[in-house]
Amino acid sequence: MPIFRYIARDVQGAETRGRLEAASRKQALAQLRARQLTPSRLEEGGAAEPAAAEGAFSLGTIGGGGAKRFGREHAQPFLRALLGLVGSGIQVADGVKLLSRRLSDPTLRALAAALWDQLSQGQSLSQALAAHGNVFEEATVNLVQAGEATGRLGGVLERLVADMEERAEIRAKLVGALAYPALILGMAVVVLLVVLFFVMPRIETLLSSLQGTLPFSTRLLMGLAHFLVSYGWFFVLVGFAGASIFWAWRRKPEGRLVTDRWLLKVTGVGAFLVANDILRLSQAFGLLLENGISTLPALAMTERTIQNRVFRQAFAEARGKIAEGAGIASALGGTGFFPPLVLDVLAVGETTGNVVPSLKDIARDYRQRIARQVSAFIGVVSVGALLVAAGFVALLAYGIISAVFQISANLRAG
């Protein structure tokens, strides 16, 4: 029985992807309707095959080993390799086929083979990428689709790769800068646990043999040790269960909307998230307009690049106003997410009849702004981690020194 690949939305509007078996396209549509799904894409994928996890593609013979699973981390290196071939004049399908044979990384080679399998069946590159939603973001698929429609796929791939490399650089900078304070904090926690569970019990036993009493600071540390031994496992289980329930709720549309609203209210975090979304939408909107996509379709595609659901909801309302004839700057100003300076730059672009240069200026400004925010965040976290570690050490030192003085006093008294 044929297998149909589909992309659909449920009653809450959340997108879902998968496969189903049906004798015909009509029966496949009936199955989707029975599941209360509204399909946006339904394509026959060939003969029936073993079911794979949604959003994943498994190959057992490529790369000389077991099944390969793909993730977000594989998008940038694959597109970078494809860009090198497309930039040298090779057609997209031929480039993907070549990568499926020549890439040295077995997982990337398997990903290229999976994409080539779909391209060889007549699908476009954007359709093939969309079938691997766990690797390629929706925004990436939309931009590739726009590049295919305008015949400027090479430029779109170049911009996508540059954007992915910028984000990878920021993540690497964060990880590298936070490694040292995390190490210091981890060492402080290890020392605290060693003292609580090994050193302090011996001191307590020694004082008891001398018929002495522990000072308050030492009793406090011992009480903490006994509490962790008796109830620590309970708090670990509760924390794990709570985190699992919270994460499952956040994955639902209503949970994502609520938690995104909470994040916007957190000092520093909200500003950083908004800055990232403004950078992404300014890059995507400018790229789409530059590649010949008209304003309203470009806005619809740009909307999907916004990560924060509250921001995306406000942007959708602004897009509706623009469709009714409002100016871009005035409509976006009503969202409350764009600062006046950004709106002024957009207004100037509208006045001149070309907002692409304005969008590029905004993207450049926000790249610099995000870099400053990342540096400030690293500084705050580093100082905070060192202060916490110093607090641990000071507490331990005071407790141990107090106990030593108490032992000395008991020995003199004896």
pLDDT of residue 413: 64
Q: Is residue 124 part of a domain?
A: no
Q: Tell me, yes or no, whether 202 and 337 share the same domain.
A: yes
Each residue of 398-409: pLDDT tens digit? Answer: 877 777 777 677
Low-confidence ranges of the chain (pLDDT < 70): 1, 10-14, 34, 36, 40, 45-68, 204, 206-214, 407, 410-411, 413-414
Q: Tell me, yes or no, whether 351 and 203 share the same domain.
A: yes
* Domain, as residue range, for 7: 1-51
Q: Tell me, yes or no, whether 201 and 350 share the same domain.
A: yes
Is the CA virtual torsion 319, 324, 327, 333 positive or negative?
negative
- Cβ neighbourhood burial of 195 (10 Å; 0-12, 13-18, 19+): buried
Please report, for the domain that includes residue 213, its CATH number. 1.20.81.30
Q: Is residue 98 part of a domain?
A: no
Rounded CA-CA distance 376/380 in Å is 6
Q: Among 36, 51, 66, identify where a domain stops.
A: 51
Q: Where are the alpha helices (DSSP H) in 291-355?
A: 295-303, 309-323, 328-333, 340-352
| Among candidate residues 34, 41, 401, 396, the one with its CA nearest the CA of residue 224 | 396
285 residue type, one letter: F
Number of domains making up the chain: 2
CA 53, distance to chain mean position in Å, is 20
Q: Among 9, 31, 51, identify where a domain stops.
A: 51
Contact 166, 364 (CB under 8 A): no
Contact 37, 9 (CB under 8 A): yes
Q: Tell me, yes or no, whether 182 and 326 share the same domain.
A: yes
pLDDT of residue 54: 37
| Among candidate residues 86, 92, 135, the one with its CA nearest the CA of residue 110 | 135
pLDDT of residue 316: 92
Pairing of strands 15-21, 38-44: unpaired
Q: Is residue 247 part of a domain?
A: yes
Q: Is residue 199 part of a domain?
A: yes
Rounded CA-CA distance 108/110 in Å is 5
Rounded CA-CA distance 158/150 in Å is 15
Coil/strand/helix, residue 319: helix
Please report, for the domain that includes residue 24, its CATH number. 3.10.20
Q: Is residue 83 part of a domain?
A: no
Q: Tell me, yes or no, whether 216 and 352 share the same domain.
A: yes
Q: Is residue 125 part of a domain?
A: no
Q: Is residue 100 part of a domain?
A: no
Q: Tell me, yes or no, whether 38 and 176 share the same domain.
A: no
Q: Among 32, 51, 70, identify where a domain stops.
A: 51
Q: Is residue 248 part of a domain?
A: yes
pTM strictly above 0.75: no
